[in-house]
Structure 1
Amino acid sequence: MRSRSRVLVIVVAVAVGALAAGVFAGTRITSPEEAAARTAPPTATAVTVPVERRTLESEVTTRGEASYTGAVDVAPELAGLETSPVVTGQVPDVGDQVKAGDVLLEIVGRPVIALPGDLPMYRSLRPGMSGPDVEQLEKALDALGFDPGTVDDTYTSATGRAVAELFDEAGYSPPAAAPDVQAELDTARQAMQMAEDEVADAEAALDAAKTGPSEAEKVAAQNDVDQATRALKQARRDGDTDLVAEAEAQLRLAQATLADLQKGPDTSAEQKMLDNARQRLSDAQAARDAAATEAGTPLPASEVVFVSSLPRRVDDVEVRRGGVVEGTVMSISGTDLVVTAEVDEAARELLEEDMEAMIELPSGEQITAPITRIREPSGDSSGHRVTMTPEDLTADQVDELRGANVRVTIPVESTEGDVLAVPLAALTAGPGGEARVEVQRLSAEGEEIIELLEVEVGLTARGYAEVEPVEGSLEEGDLVVIGGEADTGDGEGESDDER
């Protein structure tokens, strides 16, 4: 019995195991149709997003380099110096500001003064010279308040006096005339002094000649006339012809003497001498004035540097006190810190001067800067250079911005408020080129359908487009198709490529 029971247990166990194996095998066996159904792609459905209300802003985004405007290398004209051009003082520091009339540097004890002007200082100037460089100098002097006389292209003594005032203001003695020019002036002054002495002598001689007889001499001459008249009368009464003739002769002599005394002296010779002396003095004065003009304050080429605009900032200094100048002594630029970016033709058409740009500092802080200049491409460059000038920067902002490469965003156009907006991917083109969107709606039976809705497209920016339905309705929250396959109600779907 015990043996039969054991056999029964074994048979039951084997049957249970076979049943389990069969069930497991049954779960692993699939038909070809079922396998194909499991591996088929899912039914395509439309990908939708809701219509939004948002403010759209189009903008130009680029990167720009921050720098100071208009760098200029300063190289004084030292050809006229007779000594080695040693720097003796007034060496500026990087960051110093240079204004019109400031001393840029001191070379062999003389200043190099900065003045505004486009022409370089290509020659030394002195009274009597003419040219556009003289006119440029006089305009600069006049702007600084030093009167050069009539502002023209001629260097006059008034120009020289204004130059002297410029150097006095800078704390230096005015430039001196050349020794030979000064010698000519000294000679002309001596000649004029001699002419003045000659005139004085001639005037004294004329005055002496004009003095004439005294009143007593005139009275005595009148008495002689009276006495001769009485003698003549007596001789006629006596009837003595010889005495009458003699008395008549005496009367004529007395009358002639009186007449001469009353007429005054003849000073024609003395007057002629004086006229000649005065002419020589006039010639001497003219020669002295000409020599004085020539000897007026000159302007050595080595003591002035003209810069197109001032004030400016010292960017780099290449000399030191005690060193010898060889070419460029420093680099100066405009005091305005600007950001310059390059944009393509499409962006250029959107930009105008005075537009406000947003500049992101390296720290992330945002500052504004108006567009101050747009230059066309030049040379090998194909881009348009846009210059922006930040205003009212703090010292920290200047330090952070100087030399940095920064992100620049220039807002171009805005919807000025919230509008209906859809992603650009939601726009399709109709057979006539009209813009459309596919709006997912529910039919009366509660089924999802797609409505093709023609729209007018407004501003596009940052991947969105402003839309307004031509007919029908489109509201915030409506679902528009941006991908997938949609049923437009005719039983056929429209793929992304077909749209």
Structure 2
Amino acid sequence: MPWTGRRLVALIAAVAVASLLLGIVVMQFIVSPATLAARTEAPEPGPVTAPVENKVLENTVVLRGEVGYADSVAVSIDAAGGEAKAVVTGQVPAVGAVFKAGNVALEVAGRPVIVLPGELPAYRSLSIGMRGPDVTQLKQALSALGYATGDMNTDTFDWDTATGLGALYEQLGYSAATGGEETRDMLRNAERAVRDANVSAAQAQATLDEARAAKAPNTASEQAAATAAWEAVSDAQEALGEAQAAVLPTLPAGEALFLSGLPRRVDEVSVKRGDVLSGSPMSVSGATLSITGTVSKQDADLLSDGLIAQFSAPDGTDLTAKVTSVTAPKSGSGSSENGEGGGSGGGSGDAGAARYTVELEPVDLTNEQIDELRGSNVRLRIPVASTDGEVIAVPIAALSAGSGGEDRVELLIDVRDGHNAETETIVVEAGLAADGFVEITSDDERLAPGAKVVVGR
């Protein structure tokens, strides 16, 4: 049927309504350039704020450290000078044993190798009358053990030194080394010679006394005989002294093991009873576990002996260690190894800058923890300053200086519409700064946790 009359009018009306609705929808998505610019225009600038907080501030130095026993050295024993074959006959230590001054490190050919404190190795046998720095070292070692040493102001191995050495051997259950059977024969002969010389001198003196009593006209021959006899006694006594000195205790080079930094821990043993000694029989290191790391000079200036560091065991247990030394780098050295830099106390330093070595000693470790930690690398935190509990703190960026050098913050009073926010400058007293925050104190009660301070615009 053709579209005529009322049907045509209705169709036209429907099309008009649909077009109107479509136009309204499309207009929602068409924005004029002026409107677009208005919508994208930057808002009026206003203050950037941060809240006032109530928190504990702690300034820390952070570093990484290697855990191990310090100063591992291979033990060297001079057994070549002994008369007997250098067979290990006993006293073989177990790994983990700790050597202290006066201990026996090993028994070779039935003779002890005695551990003594000192930096110089035993490079010769020591006996009465000898002098040198090694004698001084021996006297100092004996004195530290409580034995007689003689005059500590001289470097001479004297009678008292020999006596103290003999007492040490006796305490260990060994006889001290002497000059051998030949020197003992010399001593017996010297003692006999003194007795004979005294008898001869007494006889010559008696003959002289009888001649004088008889008022002999000439006693020159008797006098000469008596003088010669007494001189013979003096010579015999001098020889006896030398013979006695020859049988005094000596310290063979192969029976002394001088080690610095005692006590020491046995790390490795390469001999057993019955082996012929050849090369190093064992290695030793420091007896206590230590942690070694490095820090920049800026962080090193914050550290001191006795500070306590926190670190974690491999199983996550919280552990502590005590700083035992902070050592400056040697001239011309440079390293960035093991350093992480600090907290607010300093950074990691300039790349390649010389770094300070920090030694720490772990505290109260179990044997299991020692075994787990040895050879590991741990992260340590060393608090160097801290507030006494929670304090009022703001970001360091909120702090500014007044014309008189006073510290101050800008407190947000009313944000309004941003660009004309109401603020007020308040004078404060700054305290410890750490982790990007600074402690503040003020009589203004509005500076409380939750308040806003301006940190930028």
TM-score range, shorter chain: 0.7 to 0.9
Is the Cα–Cα contact under 8 Å of residues 453 and 472 in structure 1 kept in the other structure?
no
Counterpart for residue 430 of structure 2? 457
Is the Cα–Cα contact under 8 Å of residues 324 and 359 in structure 2 kept in the other structure?
yes
Counterpart for residue 56 of structure 1? 57
Q: CA distance change for structure 1 residues 351 and 320 in 2, over 3 Å: closer, same or farther? A: same
Counterpart for residue 132 of structure 1? 133
Deviation at 1:427, TM superposition (A): 3.1
Deviation at 1:424, TM superposition (A): 1.9
Aligned equivalents of 1:148, 1:452: Cα separation in 2: 76
Instruction: State the AA in 2 paired with 1:293.
Output: A
Aligned equivalents of 1:24, 1:445: Cα separation in 2: 34
Is the Cα–Cα contact under 8 Å of residues 178 and 246 in structure 2 kept in the other structure?
no
Aligned equivalents of 2:245, 2:425: Cα separation in 1: 93
Q: CA distance change for structure 1 residues 450 and 402 in 2, over 3 Å: closer, same or farther? A: same
Instruction: State the AA in 2 paired with 1:75.
Output: S
Deviation at 1:460, TM superposition (A): 0.8
Counterpart for residue 353 of structure 1? 305
455-464 or 391-400, larger mean C-alpha shift = 391-400
- Match status 1:376 vs 2:328: yes
Aligned equivalents of 1:444, 1:157: Cα separation in 2: 97
Aligned equivalents of 2:247, 2:276: Cα separation in 1: 31
Aligned equivalents of 2:45, 2:398: Cα separation in 1: 17
Deviation at 1:421, TM superposition (A): 1.3
Instruction: State the AA in 1 paired with 2:287.
Output: T
> SS state of the match for residue 30, structure 1?
coil
Q: CA distance change for structure 1 residues 84 and 264 in 2, over 3 Å: closer, same or farther? A: closer
User: How many residue pairs end up in the alignment?
Assistant: 428
> SS state of the match for residue 460, structure 1?
strand
Q: CA distance change for structure 1 residues 11 and 311 in 2, over 3 Å: closer, same or farther? A: same
Deviation at 1:9, TM superposition (A): 6.7
> SS state of the match for residue 125, structure 1?
coil
Q: CA distance change for structure 1 residues 471 and 392 in 2, over 3 Å: closer, same or farther? A: closer
Counterpart for residue 466 of structure 1? 439
Q: CA distance change for structure 1 residues 292 and 467 in 2, over 3 Å: closer, same or farther? A: same
Aligned equivalents of 1:414, 1:75: Cα separation in 2: 49
- Match status 1:439 vs 2:415: no
Larger-gyration structure (1/2):
1
Q: CA distance change for structure 1 residues 180 and 440 in 2, over 3 Å: closer, same or farther? A: same
Structure 1: gaps spanning 5 or more residues: 211-262, 484-494
Q: CA distance change for structure 1 residues 311 and 27 in 2, over 3 Å: closer, same or farther? A: closer
Is the Cα–Cα contact under 8 Å of residues 317 and 331 in structure 1 kept in the other structure?
yes
Aligned equivalents of 2:128, 2:195: Cα separation in 1: 24
Is the Cα–Cα contact under 8 Å of residues 340 and 388 in structure 1 kept in the other structure?
yes
Q: CA distance change for structure 1 residues 320 and 57 in 2, over 3 Å: closer, same or farther? A: same
- Match status 1:389 vs 2:361: yes
Is the Cα–Cα contact under 8 Å of residues 128 and 246 in structure 2 kept in the other structure?
yes
Structure 2: gaps spanning 5 or more residues: 335-353
> SS state of the match for residue 122, structure 1?
coil
- Match status 1:403 vs 2:355: no
Deviation at 1:104, TM superposition (A): 1.1
Counterpart for residue 102 of structure 1? 103
Instruction: State the AA in 2 paired with 1:154.
Output: T
- The root-mean-square deviation of aligned C-alpha atoms, in Å, is 4.1
Deviation at 1:125, TM superposition (A): 1.0
Aligned equivalents of 2:417, 2:184: Cα separation in 1: 115
Equivalent residue runs for 1:135-284 within 5 Å? 135-151=136-152, 152-178=154-180, 181-192=183-194, 194-195=196-197, 202=203, 280-284=232-236
> SS state of the match for residue 128, structure 2?
coil
Deviation at 1:193, TM superposition (A): 5.5
- More helix per residue: 1
Aligned equivalents of 1:298, 1:283: Cα separation in 2: 25
Give % identity.
Answer: 42
Q: CA distance change for structure 1 residues 441 and 302 in 2, over 3 Å: closer, same or farther? A: same
Deviation at 1:113, TM superposition (A): 0.8
Equivalent residue runs for 1:61-140 within 5 Å? 61-81=62-82, 85-140=86-141
Is the Cα–Cα contact under 8 Å of residues 147 and 158 in structure 1 kept in the other structure?
yes
